[in-house]
Amino acid sequence: MAENVEPGSRPRQAVKLAASVLAADFALLEAQAREALAAGAAWLHVDVMDGHFVPNISMGPIAVRALRPLANETGAFLDVHLMIEEPDRYLEAFAEAGADILTVHVEAGRHLHRTVQAIKELGVRAGVALNPATPAAALAEILPDADLVLVMSVNPGFGGQSFIPASVHKLQQLRRMLDAAGSSAWLEVDGGIKPENAALVAAAWANVLVAGSAIFGGPHSIVENVAAFKSALGLA
Ligand code: DX5
Ligand code: ZN
């Protein structure tokens, strides 16, 4: 893995893998999530899609609730990515269901600062996400309040899409902005992440890598897929 010496001088947190259960077999959700965690994924990433903010419909609070006992047992975070319009309406439901982190899109509501405060008032960590066409600068004012920044490296809505290369520059920009703000927020990247580009995004200062199809899909087992990430990241 690349040396963690630039930018800024703050020590970097170890890179974590967040397994996106959107790509799991839903008839085997708990078992496959358990396998990914046992193999070395640190978090479970839950993609919530409403058919409005993104064209697809996926899962809601009941999926978070279903995974909560496994998260308690293993210490994994439930990293809930809300791809929904006006997310304020559902924050309480996801907090009650057991989310550890609630990430909302800057494009999805009118009052991001209010939404972030509302998440924190529920006792949950607050993340903010950017679509590929939204510049890093859109987060300038909210960065000091964010516990996590999520850079979408595909257009949200579907698993299995190709990584957008310009995301690398956006990660670098956001890492510099976080350092300048004195923030130790996680910098997460989501979409098209594979063992082949994991070191690239880690070298661009992402420290949480979301992967769905590269963990739960393809011809290899979940254990082999997670092992490929660990080896690519020098974690094996
Ligand atoms: C896309 C979701 C992603 C998705 C990633 O809208 O936010 O979390 O599950 O899937 P892969 O890793 O297959 O690109
Ligand atoms: Zn996601």
Q: State the distance from the centre of ligand 1 to the C-alpha of 59, rounded, in angstroms.
A: 13
Element (H, E) at 105: strand 101-105
Q: Is the CB–ligand 1 distance for residue 210 below 6 Å?
A: yes
Decide whether any atom of ligand 1 lies within 6 Å of the 190 Cβ: yes
The token duo for 56 is: 């697809």
Amino acid at position 79, single letter = D
Tokens of 175: 């890492």
234 alpha carbon – ligand 1 mean position (Å): 23
Q: What is the dihedral of CA 187, 191, 195, 200, to 10 degrees?
A: -50
- The answer to whether 178 touches 70, Cβ cutoff 8 Å, is no
d(CA 166, CA 204): 11
Question: Residue 130 CB: number of other CB atoms within 10 A?
Answer: 21
pTM: 0.95
Distance in Å, CA 214 to ligand 2 centroid:
13
Q: How high is the pLDDT of residue 236?
A: 73
Specify the pLDDT at position 72: 98
Specify burial of residue 111 (Cβ count, 10 A radius: 0-12, 13-18, 19+): exposed
Provide the annotated active-site residues.
47, 190
Those residues whose C-beta lies under 8 Å from the C-beta of residue 24, and which sit 6 or more positions away, are 32, 33, 216
Task: Give the integer Cα–Cα distance in Å for 203 and 199.
Answer: 6
Q: Nearest 5°: phi and psi at 176?
A: -65, -40
Tens digit of each residue's pLDDT, the chain (236 residues) = 344 445 554 555 689 999 999 999 999 999 999 999 999 999 999 999 999 999 999 999 999 999 999 999 999 999 999 999 999 999 999 999 999 999 999 999 999 999 999 999 999 999 999 999 999 999 999 999 999 999 999 999 999 999 999 999 999 999 999 999 999 999 999 999 999 999 999 999 999 999 999 999 989 999 999 999 999 999 87
Find out whether the beta carbon of 50 lies less than 6 Å from any atom of ligand 1.
Answer: no
Report whether the peptide linkage leading into residue 219 is cis, meaning its omega lies within 30 degrees of zero.
no
**Cα(147)–Cα(90) distance, rounded to whole angstroms?**
19
Alpha carbons 13 and 3: distance in angstroms, whole number:
12
Q: For the chain, what are the domain ranges?
A: 16-232
Q: Report, at the CATH architecture level, how domain 16-232 is classified.
A: Alpha-Beta Barrel (3.20)
Query: CA 18, CA 202: separation in Å to the nearest integer?
Result: 13
